[in-house]
Amino acid sequence: MVKLLASAFVATLAAIAAATPVLPRENTNSTPTAGSGVSPTDSASIKALQTALLLSAGFSDRQNVLLPNPPDATNITFQFINNTVNAPTGGTIALTTLNNFPALIGTNVGMAIGFVNPCGLNVPHNHPRANEFLTVISGTLIGGLILEVNPGGAGDVVGQPKPVNGPLPQVNATLENFKGMLFPQGETHFQFNPTCKPALFAAAFDSSDPGRTQIARNFFSAYPDEEVLIAAVGGNLETLDPARIEQFREQIPTAFAVQIESCVKRCGIPHAKV
């Protein structure tokens, strides 16, 4: 009896198997395809993406806005442009912003690629809203950082020794072959290419909107009149007078990088007069 039941059971299974179509097995190891685009560049699409991200209540909402059609990663990819230019330009920079890469909204992340020509100086500046970690990819840069002095940096602080006039201390480092340097938020710094070959760097920020303040241009922009600046430099009209101030205001470059004249002469490359 047991043998009979077993035989019937086997026969039933065989009949079911014969009647059921064999479906192809899903290949879980297949290579995923990928979207070929990058984040939108037209103003209407950027504005729509910015608005949707700002209205996203949580991570899932944000992910649905940025990645609506997997495996397409268009909205979270950014194409830096190789903007290498020849002397007499000191250099150029490509920077992610909230306006050209909306995916950064809410991330506290920013990135820049800098092209520093031979003898180029990324002029003294600071980033009021971000720390920067800069790494040299190719070539050589000298990184300089002007140190903050406390409490003397605030002037005559009650209960503290009177500060001494003179330059603030500075630290420098030679950066090459993937060596990086940290530039703290709000502190004045610069990078200089002392060689006759171009340099390339990548810089990361802990803010999507790091900002950039060029020290010389900001200083000479002070108003209501020239007496503000004259007083700030010690009140000596032989050192700085209204005519010189106006001259400086007209001549201070707005460029990301300028050239150091002595280096240009040594390298024998074209020099752009400011």
pLDDT tens, 47-103? 999 999 999 999 999 999 999 999 999 999 999 988 877 777 899 999 999 999 999
Measured CA to CA, the distance from residue 238 to residue 215 in angstroms comes to: 22
The answer to whether residue 273 scores a pLDDT higher than 70 is no
Which residues sit opposite 148 in a β-bridge?
Answer: none
The pLDDT value given to residue 95: 94
Name the 3-class secondary structure at 243. helix
Domain residue limits, the chain: 38-77, 79-267
Domain spanning 79-267: CATH 2.60.120.10: yes
Whether this prediction's pTM lies above 0.85 is answered by no
The pLDDT value given to residue 12: 45
Q: What angle do CA 138, 141, 147 make, to 5 degrees?
A: 140
Measured CA to CA, the distance from residue 80 to residue 82 in angstroms comes to: 7
The answer to whether residue 158 scores a pLDDT higher than 90 is no
